[in-house]
């Protein structure tokens, strides 16, 4: 209906112009000229303005996603990553690839990200207090569920995978009544679930640290002082 109204309005105005001036030649010149400009206008609107708006929207969404990711690490991620790294026999190798300083460069971030994506993660299930881990995750299940319900996460596949891995681990632990008397095969299964979450956590943590370094230096300073890979890290500024 709107399209018909607009077309009718345009035709009526052209007809009024003809009634007043009786100059069809003038009408046709401007009509053809306007129609000829339509493809250029479409090109300008769709490829330039639309692209600029898409970039702006993407930046806004990226900021919202990083706020969500920051909340996740504050509530769950940093402590869970510390639990996992403490049970990793080769965690010292990770510390060698992650500078314990506030002057990280982009090159160092890229190198750390490549290392964490390519390394093999292993955890010693005997070094993990499974009951403490279960309590920690169960207390935060509602928080994890609210994050999973956030539609913005559809734009961030790797973080969504991380949330599912952590939530699955919480379910695995919650369904077991006694974590002290499980068969060895079940401990190996739980170790696999912890390792999956550990792998995703490490990669997302470095990406999030890079975002903080470039945009929020004061938050980066705190995140560095609570580095889950550095057992000697202290929140106290020295």
Query: Residue 100: pLDDT above 70?
Result: no
Average pLDDT, the chain: 85
Q: Helix 78-86 vs helix 130-138: angle between axes, to the nearest 10 degrees? A: 170
Do the Cβ atoms of 94 and 116 come closer than 8 Å? Answer: yes
Average pLDDT over residues 35-40: 79
The Cα 139–Cα 30 span in angstroms is 70
pLDDT-derived band at 193 (thresholds 50, 70, 90) equals: very high
- Which strand (E) or helix (H) includes residue 148? helix 141-148
Query: Residue 196: pLDDT above 90?
Result: yes
Is residue 109 in a domain? yes
116 is in which domain, residue-wise? Answer: 64-225
Is residue 231 in a domain? no
Domain count for the chain, please give it. Answer: 1
Average pLDDT over residues 163-183: 91
Average pLDDT over residues 132-151: 89
Is residue 58 in a domain? no
Residue 134: per-residue pLDDT: 92
Query: Residue 10: pLDDT above 70?
Result: yes
Is residue 41 in a domain? no
Do the Cβ atoms of 235 and 101 come closer than 8 Å? Answer: no
Is residue 25 in a domain? no
**Helix-, strand-, coil-residue percentages of the chain, each rounded to 5:** 80, 0, 20
Is residue 233 in a domain? no
Do the Cβ atoms of 89 and 126 come closer than 8 Å? Answer: no
Is residue 179 in a domain? yes
Average pLDDT over residues 205-216: 88
Residue 198: per-residue pLDDT: 93
Average pLDDT over residues 183-207: 92
Q: What pTM was computed for the model?
A: 0.74
Is residue 154 in a domain? yes
Alpha helices in 22-140 (DSSP H): 24-43, 50-72, 78-86, 91-97, 106-118, 130-138
Query: Residue 37: pLDDT above 70?
Result: yes
């Amino acid at each position: 209906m709107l399209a018909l109204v607009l077309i009718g309005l345009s035709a009526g105005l052209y007809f009024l112009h003809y009634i007043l001036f009786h100059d069809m030649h003038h009408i046709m010149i401007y009509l053809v000229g306007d129609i000829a400009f339509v493809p250029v206008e479409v090109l300008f609107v769709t490829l330039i303005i639309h692209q600029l708006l898409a970039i702006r929207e993407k930046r806004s969404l990226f900021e919202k996603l990083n706020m969500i990711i920051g909340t996740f690490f504050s509530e769950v991620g940093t402590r869970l990553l510390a639990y996992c790294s403490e049970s990793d026999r080769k965690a010292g190798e990770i510390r060698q690839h992650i500078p314990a300083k506030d002057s990280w460069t982009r090159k160092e971030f890229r190198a750390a990200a490549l290392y964490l994506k390519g390394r093999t993660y292993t955890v010693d299930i005997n070094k993990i207090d499974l009951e403490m881990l279960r309590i920690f995750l169960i207390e935060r299940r509602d928080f994890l569920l609210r994050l999973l319900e956030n539609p913005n996460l559809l734009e961030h596949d790797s973080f969504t995978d991380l949330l599912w891995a952590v939530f699955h681990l919480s379910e695995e632990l919650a369904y077991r009544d006694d974590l002290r008397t499980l068969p060895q095969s079940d401990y190996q299964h739980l170790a696999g679930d912890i390792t999956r979450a550990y792998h995703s956590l490490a990669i997302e943590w470095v990406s999030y640290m890079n975002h903080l370094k470039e945009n929020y230096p004061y938050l980066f300073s705190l995140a560095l002082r609570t580095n889950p890979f550095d057992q000697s890290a202290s929140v106290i500024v020295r």
